[in-house]
Structure 1
Amino acid sequence: MRGLSGMVALALAAVPAVAVAEDQFRVLVIATPSTYHYEYIPIARDALERVARLHSFALDWTSDPARFDDDLAGFAAILFLNTPPERLDAGQRARFEAYMRAGGNAMVVHRAAIVPKDEWPWFEKLVGRRFVNHPKVQTGVVTVADPGFPASFGLPPRWIWSDEFYVTADPWRIAIDPVLRVDERSYDPTLIWPGQVGHRMGADHPLAWHHRYERGRVFVTLLGHQADMYRDERYLQHLLGGLFWTATGRGQLR
């Protein structure tokens, strides 16, 4: 019996330990509910955590802006996921600004690109555009403006998509590099609620872009209104590509 136990122990010792993948980087995700964006949170969290496990990076998920009271230096990127930026108080805003000035990186998704006018001009410059309004949710044709950017790798050149196609302005004269645009001929930009005026932006109507701000990288996508979009693998691939570049600076074909 002792001989058998010894042989089993020897055999187990000969089996190599199962390798545990180390996280390549850490991302802070802030997903704070707002009036029209709250149902997405459990779906998005489940989907993005699955993506993070698959690609060996770590997500620190929070809905509480108080997380910005802590040290942010260990995060390769901060992802604002439909979070109203104005929910951050003055101290939290200052810490995030310091994070970006120290070489931090940010990704902004859909509702998080909307800042009330004059509420936080610094963040509006980080986004790179000012939100004007949007027509009702419609189906349109999204086009790839930069096929060499990771956030477009999983998408066809022309992509049927349904969303709130945000209208934006550029009062700060911020240079951005468009990744996706929407073809305004494929939907009605003037289809809007009574009392509002729908606007056309013309051929240059960006929906996703990247640029540099302070000392960091910024990726913005205006897509993502419906909760079920986080079950769409193309949309998740779009987010993954943007997050990969934001956190690492890699993957872009020049």
Structure 2
Amino acid sequence: MAPQVLLYTRTTAYRHTSIPDGIKAFTELGEDHGFVVEATEAPEAFEGRNLARYAAVVFLSTSGDVLTDEGRDNLASYHQGGRGFMGVHAAACTEYDWPYYGTLLGARFARHPALQPGIVSVEDTNHPSTGELPRRWAFTDEWYDFRANPRPHVRVLATVDESSYEGGRMPDDHPVAWCHANGGGRVFYTALGHTGESFRDPLFRSHLWGGLKSVME
């Protein structure tokens, strides 16, 4: 039986218009790589024993408070039980009032400048999400700043070169993709993915698939 992935896209704050493009990208990645994507915005997906069915949970540009108290408890238990979690873009703008989620993801969104091109510097090529990327990768995004640098607690995979765009506020070290295994299962997060076009980019799809593969293994 093919592995199942829960793709969660609920928003209670800003909603990205790229979400349908992201769902399509993950669905097509599943068709290419042999897993089944179940996309939902229903908090009930996290209640009862439902999470046990999934090889990984992905938060795709979620925002605001998106889980019930029971859903929070179940996601924490799922992760602590060794299961995988992946966050994409606005997943960092989610569940601000739940301390565990900040630790799970690795950092929380603070602000971003205008959408613009920049250069991603791939720091660690020994990870499935970065192995096919160029060391200097031209990309267009919002370049999220975070409330605190996650580096002390995670394995940083890629940073953005703040000299390549305007308005960044993490000039000395600006991670945009990382992984870790704090507290249980494997976690991967990428801050990229604001635009619908990004989800049609073969390199970005490779980045997503590698990240998901790393938390499903």
TM-score by length of 1: 0.79
Deviations 1:158-183 (A, max 9, x none): 01111111111338885111111000
Q: Using a 3 Å threshold, how does the CA distance of structure 1 residues 172 and 144 change in structure 2: closer, same or farther?
A: closer
Q: Which residue of 2 aligns with 1:145?
A: 123
- Distance in 1 separating the partners of 2:181 and 2:15: 27
The RMSD of aligned alpha carbons is 1.9
Q: Which residue of 2 aligns with 1:109?
A: 88
Q: Which residue of 2 aligns with 1:239?
A: 208
- Contact (CA 8 Å) 1:80, 1:112: kept in 2 or not? yes
Q: Which residue of 2 aligns with 1:86?
A: 65
Is 53-62 or 30-39 further displaced after alignment?
30-39
Q: Which residue of 1 aligns with 2:175?
A: 206
Does 1:125 find its partner at 2:103?
Answer: yes
Q: Using a 3 Å threshold, how does the CA distance of structure 1 residues 159 and 173 change in structure 2: closer, same or farther?
A: closer
Q: Which residue of 2 aligns with 1:180?
A: 158
Q: Which amino acid aligns with 2:158?
A: L
Deviations 1:95-117 (A, max 9, x none): 11111111111001110112464
Deviations 1:6-52 (A, max 9, x none): xxxxxxxxxxxxxxxx52x2211111245543422332222221111
Shift of residue 211, structure 1, vs aligned partner: 0.6
- Distance in 2 separating the partners of 1:112 and 1:165: 14
Q: Which residue of 2 aligns with 1:19?
A: none
Match among 114, 123, 142 for residue 164 of structure 1 = 142
Is 65-74 or 236-245 further displaced after alignment?
65-74
Q: Which amino acid aligns with 1:99?
A: Y
Deviations 1:205-233 (A, max 9, x none): 10000011211100010001112211111
Does 1:59 find its partner at 2:37?
Answer: yes
Match among 47, 50, 66 for residue 28 of structure 2 = 50
3-state secondary structure, aligned to 1:155: coil
- Distance in 2 separating the partners of 1:173 and 1:232: 27
- Contact (CA 8 Å) 1:138, 1:187: kept in 2 or not? yes
- Contact (CA 8 Å) 1:128, 1:175: kept in 2 or not? yes
Q: Which amino acid aligns with 2:186?
A: R
Q: Structure 2: give runs of 5+ residues left out of the alignment.
A: none
Deviations 1:139-176 (A, max 9, x none): 11111010111111221110111111111133888511
- Contact (CA 8 Å) 2:177, 2:190: kept in 1 or not? yes
The share of aligned pairs that are identical, in percent, is: 36
- Contact (CA 8 Å) 2:102, 2:108: kept in 1 or not? yes
Does 1:220 find its partner at 2:185?
Answer: no
- Contact (CA 8 Å) 1:138, 1:163: kept in 2 or not? yes
- Contact (CA 8 Å) 1:125, 1:172: kept in 2 or not? no
TM-score by length of 2: 0.92
Which is greater in Rg? Answer: 1
- Distance in 2 separating the partners of 1:158 and 1:203: 17
Match among 74, 99, 103 for residue 78 of structure 2 = 99
- Contact (CA 8 Å) 2:66, 2:94: kept in 1 or not? no
- Distance in 2 separating the partners of 1:238 and 1:116: 25
Q: Structure 1: give runs of 5+ residues left out of the alignment.
A: 1-21, 190-198, 249-254
